[in-house]
Chain A
């Protein structure tokens, strides 16, 4: 897709976007302590002396988190670094009990990689991954519990995070949203992060700059902690507009950290580069460099599931689906699984349509997730089969589906109960056709004089008289031959 350019007073502007995604590793315990990493729980219920930064406490790396980082790195088609180093990022804040965050800096566990993002027009684009590193989360400061005091909840302190840093390869809010969507899909496919942005287990920092097409990179601003895909897109749109206005107004962009105000739909400055901390990174002397064996990496490679892009191409190749349909189906693993269960023995294109349009539409209206669908994949497959073998027409099928969605019954049972079986008896249909033709001599004359569109009128009349049950194909055929002879 061509770059989406923004129009300013002085001409076109190009947006350049890079994203840092913090994804909490889906593990039972924290990155360096045995405490539970579960979401929720009473404040400070999941805190070990290590997480609270007590004197003499030492971090011990959680092997499971290393496996997850490697697995995710493989899922991002990235280089796995067999040698990586945990470093201390030093700054003072009450929710950072040790006075430093253990992170990776000069030597991350995962290096360069790339993923493909799917855009609405059916095109796709490669976005580079700069690195993925492991780090511990901070606790939470609660400022709204007391008029003069702040409270601390260290449940999150020490939780394992993977920070996934993209290259500045995105040029529109749509691309950034597609990137986050794809990263989330990959994480969920891999089972290394639940991707729940509303619970904070996936968060985004968005780097935005603007430039005239072909010019050198502009000064960037970082929008911190954006917590939904929709907000990522909105934040980029408004930040890019702000930057263009600043530059076109004759000012310069100051490199700074900003916050996105979701209610006002604007970004505002948090701290400038001058106020930025000197983090004094240095290798954590409590932890040895992390050295991985090739066997360890190979064993993880063997556990990799089919990833979204591979699935997308397989759906296109094996089922003959369009890029758009395949991309939408694979964007959620549960959706792809649903489709594959429903499509067994059925027409793929028809099944995809039913999943994407009817089922997702109905779920959306009912505000339900696919996991809570009243119609199982097998049931939907049953309905599609009834359409394919001409037991019911597409129109009746919609009626049947509504009933299935409401009651959870099988399609075949509903068709039998309600007598909705399609009429494919030539004699019966012929009788209705004759009836319709006999009652509309004027319309026949108009049709004959060249008003072809009236054919649809005759079809409609026949279907109506049959209570929608007449096989539309046969109706067409019979009408055509009879009108030709008339």
Chain B
């Protein structure tokens, strides 16, 4: 029998249904693999006891023939999703020991469908980062190694623990959140698939907020089809989130194999940014060829406001974060450092509770919202954001999808790109425009760099048209035939 940890979710569900193995077997195999991969630091909290209970319950349902959509599938839950009674930290010291008395809608949906939670996955603190080096619980290590040296590489961020776990084959899928690229960029760095659905597709209820107008939950998996399955469970209208959209979630699996024949795929010229690795540009051209060969029509499109997206994002997102994080004051939950008086307590609690990057963004956000600067920064950014959205709407009059690179580079080593924050922020230059516009986007692995690292391409779709993204993702998947494994998984397979 094939190693249980190398199965796709679809294969595993088939095996469970046929009773080739049990949900407990599947979970135990993943627990064992997780224990062997602890040096990657994928989890802030392992929840093996919960996983074993959930797996046993899944087996009971299989026995009764009442299996659900994801019954028995072991997944990693980004530690930004509140899980009832289970520590939820957002990778911050300030929430150390916090056990929410409620369940996030997305995690609740997945548990309803039988998913098994292996642990709370590591991330950048409050999802702020692109390399998973800002977590108060340590860096996450990418399971991939480059040929040129043996330095530990970053998995991307902020959903680094989720992406690394799926790539390392210690979880079959994972939840992530994407504010400016936090699903797509780590998916690209780790050689897996990840989709950020349309803003409003998944409920934000119970997800620790970073930037409310941008945050959106989505899945990681090792195939487009698996991503579709996970999103099917996660998505849906929720009356507890006023920004969740009441738009029916189609059955993605029923259309995913339809191919791209007749679809128009736009290639935006503004994504040819100076400084992009030539390998990435070549990969992009390969991607265009793959879709063309599969029957898609390629059209040139223009998104003229793309160049302002990054700057605008770094006004809007910090502004919202500065307000969203005001509740972490040490008064009602999480960590408190006692001071001489109220202000002293606030200051000491936050000084100890928040990391450097989080503090930086709170400061930026407070600044851009303050009297005298509001119009120059926040208000202008909002107006530009509207124009960025308009760009997409115009482009989608000419095409059904856009194809772009996901990130300007492959995964880098811990310590690289850290000379200043802006270099790090540039990692998200291709993912941010769609975030600003609320459009759905997905990264699919297409090939390896000369240095042996995975590279992904990004598919962007129309609002609430994730179904078409999945079709194109599967078409690229077939053409690319990306079968490379990170060294760690190779070793286990051997």
Contact = CB atoms under 8 A, between A and B. Distances in A.
Interface of A: 49, 52-61, 88, 90, 92, 94, 97-100, 150, 152, 278, 280, 282, 285-288
A56 B333 contact: no
A92 B205 CA distance: 24
B423 interface: no
A88 B205 CA distance: 19
Contacts of A287: 242-243
B326 A99 contact: yes
Contact of B320 (A97, A99, A152, A285): A285
Nearest to B325: A99
6 contacts: A55-B82, A55-B328, A56-B208, A100-B323, A278-B371, A285-B213
A472 B204 CA distance: 82
B243 A286 contact: yes
Chain B CB within 10 A, most for which of A52, A282, A286: A282
A56 B323 contact: no
B240 A60 contact: yes
Interface string B27-38: 000000000000
Given A90-B326, A286-B243, A278 B370 contact: yes
A88 B90 CA distance: 23
Contacts of B213: 285
B98 to A, nearest CB: 7
Interface stretch (B4-12, B99-107, B454-462): B99-107
Contacts of A97: 327, 331-332
B430 interface: no
Q: Which 6 A-B pairs have the closest CB atoms?
A: A99-B326, A285-B213, A285-B212, A280-B369, A53-B327, A56-B206
B363 to A, nearest CB: 13
A288 B366 CA distance: 22
B323 A61 contact: no
A88 B327 contact: no
B-side interface mostly: loop
Contact of A55 (B95, B211, B322, B374): B95
B136 interface: no
Interface residues of B, number: 44
Interface string B71-94: 000000000011000001010000
B270 interface: no
Given A56-B100, A280-B370, A285-B212, A92 B323 contact: no
A99 B320 CA distance: 12
Given A55-B88, A280-B323, A282-B319, A90 B207 contact: no
Given A49-B101, A58-B242, A285-B211, 9 more contacts: A54-B102, A88-B323, A90-B326, A92-B346, A150-B342, A280-B371, A282-B319, A282-B323, A285-B320
A55 B326 contact: no
Contacts of A56: 81-82, 100, 102, 104, 204-209
A99 B323 contact: yes
Contacts of B378: 282
B446 to A, nearest CB: 34
B416 interface: no
Contact of A280 (B82, B325, B366): B366
A60 B203 CA distance: 13
Interface in B369-390: 369-371, 374, 378
A100 B326 contact: yes
A150 B331 CA distance: 11
B241 interface: yes
Contacts of B95: 55
B329 interface: yes
Nearest to B372: A278
Nearest to B345: A94
B239 interface: yes
B319 A58 contact: no
Contacts of A49: 100-102
A58 B209 CA distance: 9
B324 to A, nearest CB: 8
Given A59-B242, A94-B342, A286-B243, A54 B323 contact: no
A52 B100 CA distance: 12
Chain B CB within 10 A, most for which of A52, A53, A285, A286: A285
A100 B326 CA distance: 8
Interface in B357-374: 366, 369-371, 374
A247 to B, nearest CB: 29
Contacts of A55: 82, 88, 90, 95, 98, 100, 208-209, 327-328, 333
A58 B241 contact: yes
Contacts of A286: 209, 212, 242-243
Interface in B190-233: 204-209, 211-213
B434 to A, nearest CB: 17
B319 A54 contact: no
A379 B171 CA distance: 81
A69 to B, nearest CB: 17
Contacts of B211: 285
B315 to A, nearest CB: 11
Contacts of A278: 370-371
A94 B327 CA distance: 9
A94 B320 CA distance: 20
B313 to A, nearest CB: 14
B226 to A, nearest CB: 26
Given A56-B104, A285-B212, A286-B243, A152 B323 contact: no
A98 B209 CA distance: 12
Contacts of B204: 56, 58
A27 B198 CA distance: 35
Nearest to A33: B240
A181 to B, nearest CB: 37
A58 B243 CA distance: 10
Chain B CB within 10 A, most for which of A58, A90, A98: A58
Contact of A288 (B208, B243, B319, B329): B243
Nearest to B369: A280
A58 B205 contact: yes
A100 B327 CA distance: 8
A57 B98 CA distance: 14
Contact of B332 (A53, A59, A92): A53
Contacts of A57: 102, 205-206
Contacts of B101: 49, 54
Given A52-B332, A288-B242, A282 B369 contact: yes
A150 B369 CA distance: 31
A259 to B, nearest CB: 20
A113 B322 CA distance: 36
Contact of B323 (A59, A90, A94): A90
B329 A92 contact: yes
A278 B213 CA distance: 23
Contacts of A60: 239-242
